[in-house]
Amino acid sequence: MISTMGDAQGKAKGSFITFDSVTFEHTGPWTRMDSEFGYDYWYQPARDVLISSEWGCPTAYFKGFNPKDVESGKYGTHLNVYSWSDQRLLQRIDLGIEGIMPLEIRFLHNPLATQGFVGCALYANVFRFYQKDDGSYAAEKVISIPPKKVEGWTLSEMPGVMTDILISLDDRFLYFSNWAHGDVRQYDISDPEHPKMVGQIFLGGSIVKGGPVKVIHDTELTEQPDPVYVKGKMLEGSPQMIQLSLDGKRLYVTDSLFSPWDKQFYPMVAKNGSVMLQIDVNTETGGLTLNHNFLVDFGKEPDGPALAHEIRYPGGDCSSDIWLPVGYTECHHNNQAKNEVTPPAKI
Protein backbone atom coordinates (compact mmCIF):
# COMPACT_ATOMS: atom_id res chain seq x y z
CA MET A 1 0.00 0.00 0.00
CA ILE A 2 1.29 3.45 -0.97
CA SER A 3 -0.11 6.73 0.28
CA THR A 4 -0.85 9.54 -2.16
CA MET A 5 -0.47 13.32 -1.90
CA GLY A 6 -2.09 14.47 -5.14
CA ASP A 7 -3.97 13.56 -8.28
CA ALA A 8 -2.79 13.68 -11.90
CA GLN A 9 -3.46 17.43 -12.05
CA GLY A 10 -1.40 18.18 -8.96
CA LYS A 11 -4.39 18.87 -6.74
CA ALA A 12 -4.20 17.64 -3.16
CA LYS A 13 -5.58 14.15 -2.55
CA GLY A 14 -4.96 12.00 0.50
CA SER A 15 -5.60 8.38 -0.42
CA PHE A 16 -3.97 4.95 -0.66
CA ILE A 17 -3.35 2.66 -3.62
CA THR A 18 -2.62 -1.05 -3.27
CA PHE A 19 -0.45 -3.49 -5.21
CA ASP A 20 0.10 -7.22 -5.15
CA SER A 21 3.29 -7.65 -3.11
CA VAL A 22 4.61 -10.38 -5.43
CA THR A 23 3.59 -9.28 -8.93
CA PHE A 24 3.27 -5.55 -8.16
CA GLU A 25 -0.01 -5.58 -10.08
CA HIS A 26 -2.23 -2.62 -9.19
CA THR A 27 -5.14 -3.90 -7.09
CA GLY A 28 -7.10 -0.69 -6.64
CA PRO A 29 -7.61 1.90 -3.89
CA TRP A 30 -7.52 0.89 -0.24
CA THR A 31 -10.33 3.30 0.64
CA ARG A 32 -13.04 5.24 -1.15
CA MET A 33 -12.98 7.93 1.54
CA ASP A 34 -10.11 10.27 0.69
CA SER A 35 -8.79 12.98 2.99
CA GLU A 36 -8.04 16.54 1.93
CA PHE A 37 -4.26 16.07 2.06
CA GLY A 38 -2.00 13.06 2.36
CA TYR A 39 1.50 12.05 3.40
CA ASP A 40 2.57 9.37 5.91
CA TYR A 41 0.59 6.71 7.77
CA TRP A 42 0.87 4.06 10.46
CA TYR A 43 -1.53 1.30 11.37
CA GLN A 44 -2.19 -0.89 14.40
CA PRO A 45 -4.10 -3.98 13.20
CA ALA A 46 -4.73 -5.16 16.76
CA ARG A 47 -6.47 -1.83 17.44
CA ASP A 48 -8.23 -1.79 14.06
CA VAL A 49 -6.89 1.65 13.21
CA LEU A 50 -4.83 3.46 10.59
CA ILE A 51 -3.88 7.12 11.11
CA SER A 52 -2.49 9.26 8.31
CA SER A 53 -0.85 12.67 8.23
CA GLU A 54 -0.94 15.60 5.79
CA TRP A 55 1.76 17.57 3.98
CA GLY A 56 0.22 19.80 1.36
CA CYS A 57 -0.86 20.44 -2.21
CA PRO A 58 1.68 19.34 -4.87
CA THR A 59 1.16 22.52 -6.88
CA ALA A 60 2.37 24.43 -3.81
CA TYR A 61 5.38 22.44 -2.55
CA PHE A 62 6.73 21.61 -6.01
CA LYS A 63 7.48 25.34 -6.42
CA GLY A 64 9.44 25.50 -3.16
CA PHE A 65 8.24 26.90 0.14
CA ASN A 66 6.16 30.08 0.02
CA PRO A 67 4.62 31.41 3.28
CA LYS A 68 1.65 32.68 1.25
CA ASP A 69 0.73 29.07 0.49
CA VAL A 70 0.42 28.45 4.22
CA GLU A 71 -1.87 31.46 4.58
CA SER A 72 -4.04 30.27 1.69
CA GLY A 73 -4.56 26.82 3.22
CA LYS A 74 -2.45 24.77 0.84
CA TYR A 75 -0.84 22.79 3.66
CA GLY A 76 -2.56 20.32 5.95
CA THR A 77 -3.14 20.39 9.71
CA HIS A 78 -5.08 17.16 10.31
CA LEU A 79 -4.61 13.58 11.41
CA ASN A 80 -7.01 11.23 9.64
CA VAL A 81 -8.26 8.20 11.58
CA TYR A 82 -9.43 5.20 9.55
CA SER A 83 -10.93 1.86 10.47
CA TRP A 84 -8.31 -0.70 9.42
CA SER A 85 -10.87 -3.44 8.77
CA ASP A 86 -13.51 -1.31 7.03
CA GLN A 87 -11.10 1.04 5.19
CA ARG A 88 -13.37 3.86 6.31
CA LEU A 89 -12.48 7.38 7.47
CA LEU A 90 -13.83 7.74 10.98
CA GLN A 91 -12.39 11.00 12.30
CA ARG A 92 -10.27 14.04 11.42
CA ILE A 93 -8.22 15.65 14.20
CA ASP A 94 -7.37 19.29 13.53
CA LEU A 95 -4.00 20.18 15.09
CA GLY A 96 -4.49 23.87 14.29
CA ILE A 97 -1.89 26.47 13.35
CA GLU A 98 0.76 24.81 15.56
CA GLY A 99 0.27 21.56 13.67
CA ILE A 100 0.83 22.78 10.12
CA MET A 101 2.46 20.11 7.93
CA PRO A 102 2.13 17.01 10.13
CA LEU A 103 4.60 14.69 8.43
CA GLU A 104 6.07 11.54 9.96
CA ILE A 105 3.62 9.66 12.20
CA ARG A 106 4.63 6.83 14.53
CA PHE A 107 2.62 4.62 16.86
CA LEU A 108 4.59 3.10 19.70
CA HIS A 109 5.96 -0.25 18.53
CA ASN A 110 4.07 -2.16 21.21
CA PRO A 111 1.32 -3.73 19.07
CA LEU A 112 -1.28 -3.10 21.76
CA ALA A 113 -0.36 0.57 22.15
CA THR A 114 -3.06 3.15 21.58
CA GLN A 115 -0.80 6.17 21.30
CA GLY A 116 2.09 7.59 19.33
CA PHE A 117 3.64 10.80 18.04
CA VAL A 118 3.58 12.97 14.94
CA GLY A 119 6.11 15.65 14.00
CA CYS A 120 4.64 18.86 12.60
CA ALA A 121 7.20 20.38 10.29
CA LEU A 122 6.80 24.12 9.95
CA TYR A 123 6.67 25.20 13.58
CA ALA A 124 8.61 22.19 14.89
CA ASN A 125 6.04 20.76 17.28
CA VAL A 126 5.49 17.14 18.32
CA PHE A 127 1.96 16.05 19.13
CA ARG A 128 1.08 12.91 21.05
CA PHE A 129 -2.05 11.24 19.68
CA TYR A 130 -3.96 8.77 21.84
CA GLN A 131 -7.19 6.82 22.05
CA LYS A 132 -9.78 8.09 24.51
CA ASP A 133 -12.12 5.99 26.65
CA ASP A 134 -14.93 6.34 24.11
CA GLY A 135 -12.75 4.86 21.35
CA SER A 136 -12.11 8.09 19.48
CA TYR A 137 -8.67 9.68 19.16
CA ALA A 138 -7.31 13.01 20.36
CA ALA A 139 -3.96 14.84 20.19
CA GLU A 140 -1.96 17.13 22.46
CA LYS A 141 1.26 19.07 21.91
CA VAL A 142 4.07 17.63 24.05
CA ILE A 143 7.25 19.12 22.48
CA SER A 144 7.71 22.59 21.02
CA ILE A 145 10.93 23.97 19.52
CA PRO A 146 11.05 27.78 19.82
CA PRO A 147 11.86 29.81 16.68
CA LYS A 148 14.95 31.99 16.48
CA LYS A 149 14.90 35.68 15.56
CA VAL A 150 17.30 36.12 12.67
CA GLU A 151 18.64 38.42 9.99
CA GLY A 152 19.61 37.32 6.48
CA TRP A 153 17.00 34.58 6.08
CA THR A 154 13.65 34.19 4.29
CA LEU A 155 11.69 35.23 7.40
CA SER A 156 12.55 37.34 10.45
CA GLU A 157 11.86 34.30 12.65
CA MET A 158 13.32 30.90 11.76
CA PRO A 159 11.22 27.93 12.88
CA GLY A 160 12.86 24.56 13.40
CA VAL A 161 11.17 22.86 10.41
CA MET A 162 10.96 19.37 11.93
CA THR A 163 11.14 16.95 9.02
CA ASP A 164 11.53 13.45 10.47
CA ILE A 165 10.84 11.61 13.72
CA LEU A 166 11.24 8.01 14.84
CA ILE A 167 10.83 5.90 17.94
CA SER A 168 13.36 3.31 19.12
CA LEU A 169 12.17 -0.31 18.99
CA ASP A 170 11.95 -0.49 22.78
CA ASP A 171 9.68 2.59 22.79
CA ARG A 172 12.03 4.41 25.13
CA PHE A 173 13.46 7.18 22.93
CA LEU A 174 12.03 9.57 20.37
CA TYR A 175 14.37 11.20 17.83
CA PHE A 176 13.75 14.04 15.41
CA SER A 177 15.57 16.44 13.10
CA ASN A 178 15.15 20.20 12.76
CA TRP A 179 16.06 20.85 9.13
CA ALA A 180 16.26 24.65 9.40
CA HIS A 181 18.05 24.92 12.75
CA GLY A 182 20.37 22.01 11.98
CA ASP A 183 20.06 19.79 15.04
CA VAL A 184 19.00 16.25 15.90
CA ARG A 185 17.39 15.68 19.29
CA GLN A 186 16.82 12.65 21.49
CA TYR A 187 13.95 12.52 24.00
CA ASP A 188 13.20 10.01 26.72
CA ILE A 189 9.52 9.09 26.28
CA SER A 190 9.21 6.66 29.17
CA ASP A 191 6.45 9.05 30.22
CA PRO A 192 4.84 9.74 26.82
CA GLU A 193 2.88 12.71 28.12
CA HIS A 194 6.05 14.44 29.31
CA PRO A 195 9.02 13.78 26.97
CA LYS A 196 12.42 14.83 28.32
CA MET A 197 15.31 15.88 26.08
CA VAL A 198 18.44 13.83 26.83
CA GLY A 199 20.53 14.39 23.69
CA GLN A 200 21.19 17.03 21.03
CA ILE A 201 23.73 17.51 18.25
CA PHE A 202 24.14 20.16 15.51
CA LEU A 203 25.19 18.97 12.04
CA GLY A 204 25.19 21.99 9.76
CA GLY A 205 21.94 23.90 9.31
CA SER A 206 21.05 27.49 8.54
CA ILE A 207 22.44 29.16 11.66
CA VAL A 208 26.08 28.00 11.62
CA LYS A 209 28.79 30.55 12.32
CA GLY A 210 30.18 32.24 9.25
CA GLY A 211 27.02 31.73 7.22
CA PRO A 212 24.64 34.36 5.84
CA VAL A 213 22.24 34.14 8.79
CA LYS A 214 22.77 36.09 11.99
CA VAL A 215 20.79 35.03 15.06
CA ILE A 216 19.73 38.10 17.04
CA HIS A 217 17.65 36.34 19.71
CA ASP A 218 17.69 32.70 20.78
CA THR A 219 15.93 31.30 23.85
CA GLU A 220 17.98 28.08 23.72
CA LEU A 221 21.54 28.81 22.55
CA THR A 222 24.06 31.37 23.78
CA GLU A 223 25.95 31.34 20.47
CA GLN A 224 25.53 30.02 16.95
CA PRO A 225 26.87 26.49 16.38
CA ASP A 226 30.21 25.94 14.68
CA PRO A 227 30.48 24.42 11.19
CA VAL A 228 30.96 20.64 11.25
CA TYR A 229 33.56 18.73 9.23
CA VAL A 230 33.65 14.98 8.61
CA LYS A 231 36.74 13.51 6.91
CA GLY A 232 37.71 17.00 5.84
CA LYS A 233 34.35 17.80 4.24
CA MET A 234 32.25 20.63 5.66
CA LEU A 235 28.57 19.74 6.02
CA GLU A 236 26.72 22.04 3.62
CA GLY A 237 23.18 20.92 4.44
CA SER A 238 21.24 19.96 7.54
CA PRO A 239 20.00 16.72 9.12
CA GLN A 240 16.77 15.62 7.50
CA MET A 241 15.78 11.92 7.34
CA ILE A 242 16.93 9.61 10.12
CA GLN A 243 17.03 5.87 10.77
CA LEU A 244 18.02 3.99 13.92
CA SER A 245 19.76 0.64 14.13
CA LEU A 246 17.70 -2.13 15.69
CA ASP A 247 19.82 -2.13 18.84
CA GLY A 248 19.32 1.64 19.14
CA LYS A 249 23.03 2.47 19.16
CA ARG A 250 23.54 3.99 15.69
CA LEU A 251 21.45 6.79 14.24
CA TYR A 252 21.94 7.40 10.51
CA VAL A 253 21.20 10.81 8.98
CA THR A 254 20.78 12.16 5.44
CA ASP A 255 20.36 15.82 4.47
CA SER A 256 18.08 16.05 1.41
CA LEU A 257 14.39 16.89 1.89
CA PHE A 258 12.93 17.55 -1.57
CA SER A 259 14.96 18.93 -4.46
CA PRO A 260 12.97 22.19 -4.97
CA TRP A 261 13.33 22.90 -1.23
CA ASP A 262 16.99 21.79 -1.22
CA LYS A 263 17.72 24.29 -3.99
CA GLN A 264 15.91 27.02 -2.05
CA PHE A 265 17.44 26.54 1.40
CA TYR A 266 20.63 24.50 0.88
CA PRO A 267 21.72 25.16 -2.72
CA MET A 268 25.19 23.66 -2.21
CA VAL A 269 23.62 20.32 -1.31
CA ALA A 270 21.50 20.44 -4.46
CA LYS A 271 24.62 21.26 -6.47
CA ASN A 272 27.19 18.96 -4.84
CA GLY A 273 25.01 16.09 -3.59
CA SER A 274 24.01 14.98 -0.13
CA VAL A 275 25.72 12.91 2.54
CA MET A 276 24.88 10.22 5.06
CA LEU A 277 26.30 10.45 8.58
CA GLN A 278 26.32 8.20 11.64
CA ILE A 279 25.57 9.36 15.17
CA ASP A 280 26.57 7.12 18.07
CA VAL A 281 23.78 6.92 20.66
CA ASN A 282 24.03 6.56 24.42
CA THR A 283 21.17 4.18 25.17
CA GLU A 284 21.70 4.22 28.91
CA THR A 285 21.30 7.84 29.95
CA GLY A 286 20.92 9.48 26.56
CA GLY A 287 23.37 11.43 24.42
CA LEU A 288 24.40 11.84 20.77
CA THR A 289 27.97 11.86 19.37
CA LEU A 290 29.01 12.23 15.73
CA ASN A 291 31.11 9.38 14.33
CA HIS A 292 33.87 11.23 12.46
CA ASN A 293 34.99 8.04 10.70
CA PHE A 294 31.72 7.51 8.83
CA LEU A 295 30.74 9.46 5.71
CA VAL A 296 28.83 8.45 2.58
CA ASP A 297 29.20 11.20 -0.02
CA PHE A 298 26.45 10.92 -2.64
CA GLY A 299 28.05 13.71 -4.64
CA LYS A 300 30.59 11.12 -5.80
CA GLU A 301 28.05 8.65 -7.17
CA PRO A 302 28.72 7.62 -10.82
CA ASP A 303 25.48 9.23 -11.97
CA GLY A 304 25.60 11.92 -9.30
CA PRO A 305 25.57 14.20 -7.63
CA ALA A 306 22.63 12.44 -5.96
CA LEU A 307 20.27 13.55 -3.22
CA ALA A 308 19.77 10.82 -0.59
CA HIS A 309 16.53 10.77 1.38
CA GLU A 310 14.93 7.74 3.07
CA ILE A 311 17.10 5.17 4.87
CA ARG A 312 15.81 1.60 5.17
CA TYR A 313 17.14 -1.73 6.43
CA PRO A 314 16.30 -4.68 4.13
CA GLY A 315 15.12 -6.79 7.06
CA GLY A 316 12.97 -4.15 8.71
CA ASP A 317 13.69 -1.06 10.76
CA CYS A 318 12.38 1.32 13.40
CA SER A 319 10.25 3.39 11.03
CA SER A 320 8.67 0.67 8.91
CA ASP A 321 8.17 -2.39 11.14
CA ILE A 322 4.66 -2.92 12.48
CA TRP A 323 4.26 -5.72 14.98
CA LEU A 324 1.43 -8.11 15.81
CA PRO A 325 0.92 -9.35 19.38
CA VAL A 326 1.26 -13.01 20.25
CA GLY A 327 -2.20 -14.56 20.06
CA TYR A 328 -3.44 -12.16 17.36
CA THR A 329 -5.68 -13.67 14.69
CA GLU A 330 -7.34 -12.02 11.73
CA CYS A 331 -10.41 -13.60 10.19
CA HIS A 332 -11.81 -12.38 6.88
CA HIS A 333 -15.48 -12.49 5.99
CA ASN A 334 -16.82 -10.75 2.90
CA ASN A 335 -13.44 -9.01 2.55
CA GLN A 336 -13.82 -7.36 5.96
CA ALA A 337 -11.15 -8.16 8.55
CA LYS A 338 -12.33 -8.84 12.09
CA ASN A 339 -9.57 -8.77 14.68
CA GLU A 340 -9.30 -10.81 17.86
CA VAL A 341 -6.52 -10.08 20.34
CA THR A 342 -5.16 -11.80 23.40
CA PRO A 343 -2.44 -10.08 25.44
CA PRO A 344 1.04 -10.90 24.14
CA ALA A 345 3.42 -13.18 25.99
CA LYS A 346 6.17 -11.05 24.53
CA ILE A 347 6.52 -8.59 21.70
250-269 confidence digits (pLDDT tens):
999 999 999 999 999 999 99
How far is Cα 61 from Cα 139, in angstroms, rounded to an integer? 26
Q: 269, 257 in Cβ contact below 8 A?
A: no
The answer to whether the beta carbons of residues 180 and 169 sit under 8 Å apart is no
Q: Are residues 176 and 259 in the same domain?
A: yes
44, 110, 171, 340, 341 from 326: Cα distances, Å:
14, 11, 18, 11, 8
> Among residues 94, 114, 144, which one ends one of the domains?
144
> What's the pLDDT at 330?
59
Whether residue 284 sits in one domain with residue 218: yes
Q: What pLDDT sits at residue 183? A: 98
What's the pTM? 0.93
71 and 159 inside one domain: no
Of 144, 172, 207, the one marking the end of a domain is 144
Domain shared by 19 and 5, yes or no: yes
42-98 residue pLDDT tens: 999 999 999 999 999 999 999 999 999 999 999 999 999 999 999 999 999 999 999
Q: What is the mean pLDDT of the chain?
A: 93
Mean pLDDT by 10 residues, the chain (347 residues): 94 96 96 96 96 97 95 97 97 98 97 97 98 97 98 96 97 98 98 98 97 97 97 96 97 97 96 97 97 96 92 90 78 44 42
Residues 138 and 165 in one domain: no
Q: How many domains does the chain have?
A: 2
Looking at the domain assignment, is residue 254 inside a domain? yes
Structural domain that includes position 254: 147-311
With respect to residue 82, please indicate whether it lies within any of the assigned structural domains: yes
- Whether 72 and 177 map to the same domain: the answer is no
